[in-house]
Amino acid sequence: MTTDAALGIVGVVDAVTLRLRGRILSGEIRSGAPLTEAAVSEAFGVARPSAKAAIEQLVASGLLVRTAHRSARVVGIDPETVRDVYRTRSRLESAALRELAITRTVPASALEANAEILAMPPGPDAATVDPDLRFHTALIDALGSDRTARMYRSVLDEARLCMAQVQGRRLLDAAVIAAQHAEMLEAVAAGEGDRAADLLAAHLSSAEERLVEAIDAD
């Protein structure tokens, strides 16, 4: 059990935040579920101030929302949320691809993540989600900007939340995902930033529509 005495206040807050974040992004804590300071304090064996600080960190990151005089709740996922999250991703990643194409820089970590997807058995598989997101994160990290990386990871947490909260995500076949990624990287290597950005837009738009369809089905 995590305790304030064992880790110190800052360590406790970070530990509780990390564990709560994991439960939210895995879908264990569902959309709209309340998270009170008392419940978090009891669940993790920490003092109320530490529980409050952990909740506030997740509110700041966009995974929880708190309205006046109400407990924090896991952000609700609806079609508008999905569309905004994915279009924000598209803006950030498109800019990254265009910048990388200027120097024809193909991130090694993106190639590695895509090779992992390509090695998976045929058919849709939830195991593709992690390397898929690592592929996209590699594009941002290759810019070498800590601020851009922090901003992107905040958006990516919301994308993970969208995926976790929607049952039956209608995932693509691993080979299709890998092929689409490969096309983007080939365009970057050729210095064709606009083509890479167009391919990305189509790739993310398809994922966006599948999530929206899943929400409507649920």
Other CB atoms within 10 A of residue 64 CB: 24
- The CATH number given to whatever domain includes residue 31 is 1.10.10.10
Single residue among 52, 74, 96 that ends a domain in this structure? 74
Instruction: Round to the nearest angstrom and report the end-to-end CA distance of the chain.
Output: 36
For 58-91, write each residue's pLDDT tens digit: 888 888 888 777 788 888 788 998 999 999 999 9
pLDDT score for 12: 84
The verdict on 89 and 60 lying in the same domain is no
Predicted pLDDT at 5: 47
Domain check: are 91 and 104 in the same one?
yes
Which domain, by its residues, includes 127?
Answer: 79-217
Q: Do 150 and 171 fall within a single domain? A: yes
CATH code, 117: 1.20.120.530
Q: In the predicted model, is pLDDT for residue 212 greater than 60?
A: yes
Distances from the Cα of 196 to the Cα of 71, 99, 121, 139, 178, angstroms:
43, 11, 26, 12, 14
Its pTM stands at 0.78
pLDDT at 6: 45
Same domain, 182 and 92: yes
* 117-175 pLDDT tens trace: 999 887 777 788 889 999 999 999 999 999 999 999 989 988 888 887 665 556 678 89
55, 74, 93 - which closes a domain: 74
Mean per-residue pLDDT over the chain, rounded: 87
186/102 same-domain check: yes
Question: DSSP H helical segments within 67-145, as ranges?
Answer: 79-103, 108-118, 129-141
Distances (CA, A) of 215 to 21, 82, 88, 203, 211: 22, 9, 19, 19, 6
In three-state secondary structure terms, 74 is strand
Q: What is the pLDDT of residues 193-205, one digit of tens each?
A: 999 999 999 999 9
| Whether residue 41 sits in one domain with residue 21 | yes
- Average pLDDT of the segment spanning 20-45: 85
Q: Give yes or no: residues 142 and 173 share one domain.
A: yes
Do residue 38 and residue 137 come from a single domain?
A: no
